[in-house]
Structure 1
Amino acid sequence: MKKGIFLLLLMVLPLLGLAHPFHSSVGECIYNAKEKTWEISIRLFQDDLEQGLSAFTGTRFVFQEGPQTDKVLDAYLRKHLGVQVNQQLTTPYRYLGWEAVKDVIWVYVEIPTEQNLKGMFWENSLLADTFPDQTNLFHVARGEHKQSYLFQSTKWIQVFE
């Protein structure tokens, strides 16, 4: 029940133009059998992401079209999203880009592999160093098998089942 209310708030608050009382992202990782890739999309509030990227770069960051935005966003993702191997973050994905939709930024990456992600240690600490209450909901699906993970301050790294 709480998860349903949380997801409803994630969808409704941006439409109302209200400041959100929490800091969260929602991502999904879906296997595309035809392309043999894992397609990842992540939805973040633009104002939160700009604040996080400003802290990351040390200068005020504002989203705008151009290679500099892609460069900063790709570097930030590679610091906070990926697979943990021997306690080192690796990023076996290709950065594809981003798009702004109202006050939300969608980020897209892909992992070109047929391998199952089961047993991999994933880190998703996006915006964790900017917002202590940050949570990152992440859905993984391959065929009929679906699993959701909640990354938060007590658990930024999780094993995919």
Structure 2
Amino acid sequence: MGVMLFKWCLPALMAAVHPFYMSVTEIRYNNPQKTLEISVRIFSDDLENVLKKESKQPLDIIHPKNRAAADSLVAQYLRRHLSLQADGKPLQIRYLGYEISEDATWCFLECAPLAPFKKLDLRNDVLYAEHDTQSHMIHVIVNGRRQSTKLDNPSPSATFNF
């Protein structure tokens, strides 16, 4: 009985010793508006730590003393680590802001205007420099059709065809 309990508890103990690093990115094409609506969910402590490290400034993204400065740091970081191309043309991603939800930060971005496309290339290496085991779940929804993939560090790229 003790051996069975140990085998059952071992994965839970290993997870506690080795944290799980995962972000989620959803990209949705809004056909009437001709925009790509992008949301990126990142664990708040991981995002805050990388922003502190890169900016060499104290920062509390949950309760920032200067929200505009915090937004600027998040926007700059995402601009460096997330990019998109539609049918081979680079897209300009506009940062809209972020919200805190429990232990995660939801970052909101958009690309506009954007004509319908057949191929979307994504590059996402958010937190790759921080965590060797960082992964990203990517969901792209175009005209009601959803495609998903998982990226594991060091692989930052994915292509979606519609």
TM-score computed with the length of structure 1 as normaliser:
0.77
For 1:78, give the aligned amino acid: R
Backbone CA RMSD of aligned residues: 2.3
1:77 and 2:78 aligned? yes
- Which structure is larger by alpha-carbon Rg, 1 or 2? 2
**1:43 matched to which residue of 2?**
41
- For residue 98 of structure 1, report the CA deviation from its aligned partner: 0.3
Shift of 1:117: 5.1
Q: 2:141 corresponds to which residue?
A: 141
Tell me the residue number matched to 2:60.
62
Contact 1:125/1:152 (8 A) holds in 2: no
Post-superposition Cα deviations, 1:38-72, rounded to whole Å, max 9, x if no partner, equal: 10011111111111212221334321251100110
Q: What is the number of residues matched between the two proteins?
A: 140
Alignment of 1:11-22 (within 5 A): 21-22=19-20
**Retained in 1: the 8 A contact 2:122–2:158?**
yes
Letter in 2 for 1:36: K
Residues 1:52 and 2:50 aligned together: yes
- The secondary structure found in structure 1 opposite 2:119 is coil
Runs (4+) of structure 1 exceeding 2 A deviation are 18-21, 58-61, 113-121
Q: Which amino acid aligns with 1:75?
A: Q
Alpha-carbon distance in structure 2 between the residues aligned to 1:100 and 1:20: 24
- For residues 90-129 of structure 1, give each alpha carbon's deviation from its aligned partner in whole angstroms, at most 9, with x where no partner exists: 5511110001112211000001133345434311111111
The aligned amino acid for 2:114 is E
| Structure 1 residue 144 displacement after superposition | 2.5
Partner of 2:152: 152
- Please give the per-residue CA displacement for 1:113-160, whole angstroms capped at 9, x wherever unaligned: 333454343111111111111001110001232111212214201222
Instruction: Report the counterpart of residue 15 of structure 1 in structure 2.
Output: none
Give 3-state SS (helix, strand or coil) of 1:97's partner.
strand
Q: Partner residue of 1:23?
A: 21
CA distance in 1, matches of 2:118, 2:128: 24
Distance across 2 between alignment mates of 1:131 and 1:66: 26
Q: Which moved more, 1:42-51 or 1:19-28?
A: 19-28
Q: CA deviation at 1:84?
A: 6.3
Q: Report the CA distance shift for 1:103/1:42 in structure 2 as closer, same or farther (over 3 A).
A: same
The answer to whether the 8 A contact 1:41-1:106 is kept is yes
Q: Is the 8 A contact 2:140 2:146 kept in 1?
A: yes
